[in-house]
């Protein structure tokens, strides 16, 4: 599947809603599992978007990194519905994609797969289209390797991809695929996908 096809699926696939407004979709082709996460859709999502760091795992011990609390809360609503699907041993490859808030959820899902399916670490790829920054405190190369197969597709003029601000300690993870040109002021309109 090309990046264009994956983005198109991400925008048009029918989503299931759980919790307050957590939307996901699952597609299986042979032994490949596709997981999709929908972008912000309503004021509950925007409240989540404006939340701050939290410890991602209860039994984490000494916390050396944090995740955005609002996105983490939304991911935790979805996680129980995907856990069995992700840990199904007949799945030999996982592709994860999300747009906007869904890109943030895709990053958290990618981390979940990395942690729970070590056998698929080299067979998992993730894409966050127009994704905001999700993680705080990730400095070491050892931690960054968790997302080495995750790509953030970032329109440089898209305001959302510059939030939460880097000066607060938030960062993108994985590879950044930069598209477009950065202007003096980023635009919210640049965040909306073009219909194709």
The span from the CA of 190 to the CA of 82, in Å, is: 31
What pLDDT, on the 0 to 100 scale, is given for residue 194? Answer: 67
Domain-by-domain residue ranges, the chain?
3-191
Do the beta carbons of residue 162 and residue 184 sit within 8 Å? no
Sign of the Cα pseudo-torsion (72, 156, 172, 148, in order)? positive
From the list 144, 145, 130, 135, the residue with the least C-alpha distance to 180 is 130
Q: What is the pTM for the complete model shown?
A: 0.84
Residue 48 pLDDT > 90, yes or no? no
Q: Which of 15-24, 42-51, 104-113, 184-193 has the lowest mean pLDDT?
A: 42-51
The span from the CA of 149 to the CA of 112, in Å, is: 14
Q: C-alpha angle 132/135/136, rounded to 5°? A: 125
Assigned fold of 3-191:
Rossmann fold (3.40.50)
């Amino acid at each position: 599947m090309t990046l264009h096809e994956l983005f198109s699926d991400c925008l048009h696939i029918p989503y299931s809603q759980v919790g307050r407004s957590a939307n996901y979709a699952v597609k299986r082709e042979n032994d490949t599992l596709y997981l999709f996460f929908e972008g912000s859709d309503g004021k509950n999502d925007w409240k989540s978007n404006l939340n701050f760091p939290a410890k991602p795992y209860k039994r984490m011990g000494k916390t050396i990194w944090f995740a955005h609390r609002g996105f983490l809360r939304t991911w935790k609503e979805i996680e129980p519905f995907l856990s069995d699907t992700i840990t199904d041993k007949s799945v030999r490859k996982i592709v994860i994609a999300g747009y906007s808030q869904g890109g943030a959820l895709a990053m958290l899902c990618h981390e979940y797969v990395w942690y729970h399916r070590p056998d698929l670490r080299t067979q998992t790829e993730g894409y966050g289209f127009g994704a905001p920054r999700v993680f705080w405190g990730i400095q070491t190369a050892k931690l960054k390797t968790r997302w080495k197969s995750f790509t953030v597709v970032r329109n440089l003029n898209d305001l959302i991809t510059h939030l939460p601000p880097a000066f607060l300690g938030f960062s993108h993870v994985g590879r950044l695929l930069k598209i477009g040109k950065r202007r003096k002021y980023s635009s919210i309109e640049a965040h909306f996908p073009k219909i194709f």
